Amino acid sequence: MRLRPRHLRRYRQITGILVDYGFGAILAQLGLSERLNIPRRVLRRKPAIEEELNQAQRLRLALEELGPTFIKMGQILSTRADLLPPDVIDELRLLQDRVPPGPWEPIRELIELELGAPIQELFAHIDHNALAAASLAQVHAAVLPRGEEVVVKALRPDIEVVINLDLDILSDLAQLAQERTALGERYDVVDFAAEFAISLQGELDFRREGRSADQFRENFAKEPHLKVPIIYWDYSTRRILVQEQFNGIKIDDIAALDTAGYDCKQLADIAARFVLKEVMEDGFFHADPHPGNLLVLPGEVLGVLDFGAVGRLGTNDRVSLARLLILVVQNDVEGIVDQLMRMGIADYGIDRTALVRALNRLLMKYYGLPIQEIPATEVSRELEPIVYKYKLRIPSNYLLLIKTIAIMQGVGLGLDPEFDMFAFTRPYLNRLFRQLLLPSTWGPGFMRMLTDWGDLVSGFPGRTTRILGQLERGDLGFEVDVPQVDDVVDRVDRIANRIIYGVLLSAFIVALALLIPNMDLTWPWGIINWIIIVGFLVISALGLQLLWSIFRSGKPRKKK
């Protein structure tokens, strides 16, 4: 693979920083010494920083010096206990994405360019000093011409050029790592880099964040104690986001909340309902609910900010996680491992006995403790060595969810020492499982199955004709080299009969499904109702007969 020539300057800058922090050997393994014409002795030199720092600390410092793209990547890697050992994960959690605010003039020029008007026509007032700043954007308070107090989130000028350049380089490095390292043998490093690129480029488009805020506002329209800021779309673009300003108290500032007379226990209940509804009911959740994004507004209203990071869970995901939670509460370690395998998190070839033993040790540590006394953050940290050792593949949305639950349990316990997140979970679990019984949930999947069977039945005559034609012409043949040919032919014959039987049975099921919408339950029943009922009974009998035939075929046959 050839490196992109237009990026050579940045390649050399990255290489120099990594060598300074003692990662020259990795660069040599990737083959960058030849591609960049760097002498091997340079890559082998000792780190230019203090020798008392361990490798994990040097990695964090290197990522911080490499800039926003690498900081964001390190923050994502800090959630990937399946990729990195626990000591590196702990260090990457310390990565900071705080930078001094940039000068006002470039921000003003960007706003005017994006909105197509002078700043004094757009806003009655805008504060030149930033309220907050990060590597990608900074935020300014403002007032619209009609008097609405807003905040203006503006992308840093030229940050897109820097990000896209670094993403190109990360793509190249991921390809080299895939081909040349042991990590590439175990994981799809290229896929991780591609997923990271999509995520980061999404953060550069504020329209996505605005749409997420609108979706949350719609989801919680009936919740009077939760508020999502209004997005002013007339003032918002891909690089500018203008939204309603909230003036409240951070949810972890207990002293200020007490002074203002807020009921902290009620606030903990509101926060729990917020998390459980967005996860268990909506399947669309805020993935970064740290206290800075949760403000308490007058009337014990929870104001939620910053929808740049969100997660999604399908119905199957939510059901699988609910079943896993029930197994954890029941302390059923064998069941937990089975469920992890069904979810694709644990491989079926894993050392099951060792994994069961490791999970059992962890659960026994907290066995018998009240739920509110089990710290989610601590449990999550203790799970990380198990995830890494047994190479459990946890989907990125599950990782975001674990982080969200851990943060919100910490927030809840800070507000109410007796806070019990799982006590709030039970009614949501009951509603979720009841939802599974509704036709609106299982109906689409059932109809897809009927469609597949219908395609099979409708295509069966044509395929049969083609196969018989090939047999007649002598184009299709079978060669069986076994000593008991008669027995094999007999078995093949029984299998073919069973397949034909099953196809015909599926045809009856499809026909019955087409008749069901025409049922009229008023008495006396018409001919359609009787056909459906009799057809259902016949199909049930034939289905049971087929199952019995399959069951009997599994028994060992007596040798003649």
Q: Quick one: 289 exposed, middle or buried, by C-beta within 10 A (0-12, 13-18, 19+)?
A: buried
Torsion of Cα atoms, 424 then 429 then 431 then 432, to 10°: 140
Question: 223: which 2 tokens?
Answer: 């919740």
Q: What angle do CA 77, 80, 84 make, to 5 degrees?
A: 80
* 284-288, 303-307, 318-322, 333-337: least confidently modelled range: 318-322
Report the C-alpha gap between 2 and 148 in whole angstroms: 53
Please answer whether residues 236 and 207 qualify as being in contact, where contact means their C-beta atoms are separated by less than 8 angstroms.
yes
Looking at the fold, whether 420 and 494 belong to one and the same domain comes out as: no
**What is the total count of domains within the chain?**
3
Domain presence at residue 63: no
Domain presence at residue 447: no
Looking at the fold, whether 329 and 430 belong to one and the same domain comes out as: yes
Domain presence at residue 28: yes
Q: What is the rounded average pLDDT of the residues 340-358?
A: 90
Q: What is the rounded average pLDDT of the residues 55-62?
A: 90
Question: 133: which 2 tokens?
Answer: 């700043």
Looking at the fold, whether 275 and 378 belong to one and the same domain comes out as: yes
Phi, psi angle pair for 125, to nearest 5°: -160, 145
Who wins on pLDDT, 51 or 249? 249
Who wins on pLDDT, 552 or 362? 362
Looking at the fold, whether 417 and 540 belong to one and the same domain comes out as: no
For 82, other C-beta atoms within 10 Å of its C-beta total 17
Report the C-alpha gap between 111 and 104 in whole angstroms: 11
Looking at the fold, whether 298 and 429 belong to one and the same domain comes out as: yes
Q: What is the rounded average pLDDT of the residues 331-346?
A: 90
| pLDDT score for 331 | 84
For 286-333, the three-class secondary structure string (H helix, E strand, C coil) is ECCCCHHHEEEECCCEEEECCCCCEEECCHHHHHHHHHHHHHHHCCCH
Q: Quick one: 240 exposed, middle or buried, by C-beta within 10 A (0-12, 13-18, 19+)?
A: buried
| pLDDT score for 207 | 95
Boundary of a domain, candidates 412, 437, 462? 437
* pLDDT band, residue 23 (cuts 50/70/90): confident
Domain presence at residue 209: no
Q: For this structure, is 288 an active site residue? A: yes
Average pLDDT of the chain is: 81
Q: How far is CA 496 from CA 467, 501, 502, 558, in A?
A: 14, 8, 10, 22
Looking at the fold, whether 427 and 520 belong to one and the same domain comes out as: no
Looking at the fold, whether 515 and 395 belong to one and the same domain comes out as: no
Q: Which of these is catalytic: 97, 214, 288, 338?
A: 288
Domain presence at residue 455: no
Boundary of a domain, candidates 17, 34, 52? 52
Report the C-alpha gap between 327 and 333 in whole angstroms: 7
| pLDDT score for 454 | 64
Question: 95: which 2 tokens?
Answer: 């990565």
For 464-478, the three-class secondary structure string (H helix, E strand, C coil) is HHHHHHHHHHCCCCC
Strands (E), 156-248: 226-227, 240-244
Q: How far is CA 448 from CA 201, 269, 287, 443, 453, in A?
A: 35, 40, 32, 9, 9
Q: How far is CA 99 from CA 67, 134, 136, in A?
A: 10, 5, 9
State yes or no: pLDDT of 297 exceeds 80.
yes
DSSP reduced 3-state for 126: strand
Domain presence at residue 220: no
| pLDDT score for 415 | 87
Looking at the fold, whether 486 and 432 belong to one and the same domain comes out as: no
State yes or no: pLDDT of 357 exceeds 90.
yes
Give me the residues paired with residue 153 across strands.
Answer: 139, 241
Instruction: Calculate Rg over the CA atoms of the chain.
Output: 30
| pLDDT score for 560 | 46
Looking at the fold, whether 405 and 489 belong to one and the same domain comes out as: no
The verdict on pTM exceeding 0.75 is no
Domain presence at residue 212: no
Q: What is the rounded average pLDDT of the residues 237-241?
A: 96
Please answer whether residues 390 and 351 qualify as being in contact, where contact means their C-beta atoms are separated by less than 8 angstroms.
yes
Q: What is the rounded average pLDDT of the residues 311-323?
A: 84
| pLDDT score for 557 | 52
Report the C-alpha gap between 242 and 454 in whole angstroms: 52
Looking at the fold, whether 422 and 507 belong to one and the same domain comes out as: no
Looking at the fold, whether 389 and 521 belong to one and the same domain comes out as: no
- Nearest Cα neighbor of 532 from 507, 511, 505, 501 is 511
| pLDDT score for 529 | 67
All residues at 6 or more sequence positions from 307 whose CB lies less than 8 Å from its CB, including other chains: 209, 210, 212, 213, 216, 228, 286
Give tens-digit pLDDT for 383-436: 889 988 888 888 888 888 887 887 887 888 888 888 776 667 767 666 666 655
Question: 395: which 2 tokens?
Answer: 């989907």
Q: What is the rounded average pLDDT of the residues 217-240?
A: 95
Report the C-alpha gap between 40 and 91 in whole angstroms: 29
Give me the residues paired with residue 241 across strands.
Answer: 153
Domain presence at residue 16: yes
Q: What is the rounded average pLDDT of the residues 357-382?
A: 80
Looking at the fold, whether 393 and 542 belong to one and the same domain comes out as: no
Please answer whether residues 186 and 201 qualify as being in contact, where contact means their C-beta atoms are separated by less than 8 angstroms.
no
Tell me which residue range forms the domain holding 334: 250-437
Report the C-alpha gap between 531 and 540 in whole angstroms: 14
DSSP reduced 3-state for 496: helix
DSSP state of 231: B
Question: 217: which 2 tokens?
Answer: 């506002």
* pLDDT band, residue 442 (cuts 50/70/90): very low
- Nearest Cα neighbor of 42 from 3, 2, 12 is 12
Please answer whether residues 404 and 275 qualify as being in contact, where contact means their C-beta atoms are separated by less than 8 angstroms.
yes
% helix, strand, coil for the chain, step of 5: 65, 10, 30
Report the C-alpha gap between 311 and 405 in whole angstroms: 12
State yes or no: pLDDT of 445 exceeds 60.
no
State yes or no: pLDDT of 491 exceeds 80.
no
Who wins on pLDDT, 28 or 311? 311
- Nearest Cα neighbor of 110 from 166, 153, 165 is 153
Q: What is the rounded average pLDDT of the residues 217-234?
A: 95
Report the C-alpha gap between 132 and 421 in whole angstroms: 31
Please answer whether residues 248 and 296 qualify as being in contact, where contact means their C-beta atoms are separated by less than 8 angstroms.
yes
